[in-house]
Amino acid sequence: MKISANGLQSTAYLIIGSGIAGLYTALKLSELGEVTLLTKDTLVESNTSYAQGGIAAAIDPGDSPELHFQDTITAGAGLCLPDAVTVLVNEGPARIKELMELGVPFDTQAGKLALTREAAHHYPRVLHADGDATGREISHTLIKQVLANPRIKFVENMFVAALLTAGGRCYGALAIDPAGRRHGFLAKATVLATGGCGQIYTDTTNPEVATGDGLAIAFRAGAPLADLEFVQFHPTALYLPGAPRFLITEAVRGEGGILRNQQGIRFMPAYHGAAELAPRDIVSRCLLAEMEKTGTDHVYLDLSALEPSRIKSRFPNIYDTCLAYGLDITKEPIPVAPAMHYMMGGIATDLYGRTALPNLFACGEVACPGVHGANRLASNSLLDGLVFGHRIYTLLAGQEHAALPVPPELEVNLPAETAPEQVEADRKALKKLAAAKLGIIRREADLLTAVQLLAPVVARQEPVLNREYLELQNMRLIARLIANAALQRTESRGSHYRADYPDPDPNWQKRLLHYPGKTEMLSAISPFHWHW
């Protein structure tokens, strides 16, 4: 459908999303001009606010970017882009310093930054704040800065339905408010920082807002997506009747937490030499194997090796949350089971956040610059949003800032795959399907079933400008692309495990790039380059 450009709001820079990537990039771009930041809920509601473990960076004198690089590459199982990882680990310490200057209260011990070690790290390099509330503290600090910045206009409860395009170029976005009214925003540069897609699954640590919207609107506008088969499941999410699938950070295991089965037996050493500190994909599969072996739906995380005072000071958020549901983790083990946690794939970007669509950028979880490969290293996600958000800023700071000529008419690609009156039932069915067919262990027959069931079921109709309906269409599209990618990758690598192809295949050390209507296999492990 086409809309007139007349009367639309204009801004120099449009940012969509209010997690660490969106907030930080907004602050940086405000140095260059006016910024409008849109978020579909409140500023505080994002995956960042729920991040517990911390943010990794080689800031200790005994550590180095080279060691951080090696740990990241190893966790990525052969699919990390070395150039992207080099950028992350070398520019990360400067971004941490910047957060500290902005006022993020990272925890200290004896006057020095307190650093912890998490799974697959060979050195303690994870900073944390308020024990296990790192994301919340970073978010609060950045929001405070945004609210005080006169060059940033933020609009809450504004759901972005589609990008505005013409001639293969992005000119902004079309959003709807809670009443269903349309709002068009024109910008010289549009930055997607909308986070992940955990709500596709029944069990997820992601908040309700994580429905893959940025992925979907970018794809429909013509920007390719990459690495979508690589979905990370966190092995330890709280498993209590009536409680949400609350994340139990990996740092608990890094501090000495032990995984035990229903009989109280520690089982991880029997599966992997690194035991509880093995990469997340391995620990998640081991938990499934142990649960199947013992005929149960969860295992236990035992914190008895930690002093009660240490538990309360290091993990106050986890302690308080569990206590609210009647569980005292200083006296009892935590029942846990895997849950969807993070999308390694995303909008394909180069090393400056550029997508294939001119004037459209992406950073944070929604983007895929190639840092995480087939399996993200713990606590690299928050750093990813900072580093590549800053790179978008440095690129735009070096460009001319002439007004962008806007065509009189703009294209809006709105989805219509399912019947509007079936939204609630279809959403439940989708989540159940993804949990059964697109989970930790995958099989060809399951993936074929998912692709078939996720195909559009109604002819294209008049657009429905309703948040719940559009969220469902976004979730269906991304789930379908995950299923297709997982079906094509006939090997097991990192977080993608095929029971019918249980081993990695060196011929599959390549990436899948999804364009609307086609999929390309890229044989070279090298950065994307977009020539605008």
Q: Which residues are part of the catalytic machinery?
A: 280
Q: Which amino acid is at 190?
A: T
Q: Answer for the pair 305, 258: CB distance below 8 angstroms, yes or no.
A: yes
Neighbouring residues of 163: CB distance < 8 A, sequence distance ≥ 6: 170, 172, 173, 174, 190, 217, 218, 220, 221, 357, 360, 412, 413
The Cβ of residue 514 has, within 10 Å, a number of other Cβ atoms equal to: 20
User: Helix/strand/coil (H, E, C) string of 383-448?
Assistant: HHHHHHHHHHHHHHHCCCCCCCCCCCEEEECCCCCCCHHHHHHHHHHHHHHHHHHCCCCECHHHHH
Burial class, 264, CB count within 10 angstroms (exposed 0-12 / middle 13-18 / buried 19+): exposed
Task: Give the pairing of strands 159-166 and 169-176.
Answer: antiparallel
> Taking each helix axis from N to C terminus, what angle separates 423-437 and 467-488, rounded to the nearest 10 degrees?
20
The Cβ of residue 16 has, within 10 Å, a number of other Cβ atoms equal to: 28
Provide the sign of the torsion angle of the four alpha carbons 166, 168, 169, 173, taken in this order.
positive
Chain-centroid distance, C-alpha 5: 32
Q: Which two tokens stand for residue 140?
A: 């609060």
| Among 319, 304, 231, residue whose Cα is nearest residue 266 | 304
Which uninterrupted H or E stretch holds 213? helix 213-221
DSSP label at 199?
G
Q: Which amino acid is at 11?
A: T
| Among 395, 332, 319, residue whose Cα is nearest residue 361 | 395
Neighbouring residues of 413: CB distance < 8 A, sequence distance ≥ 6: 1, 162, 163, 165, 217, 220, 221
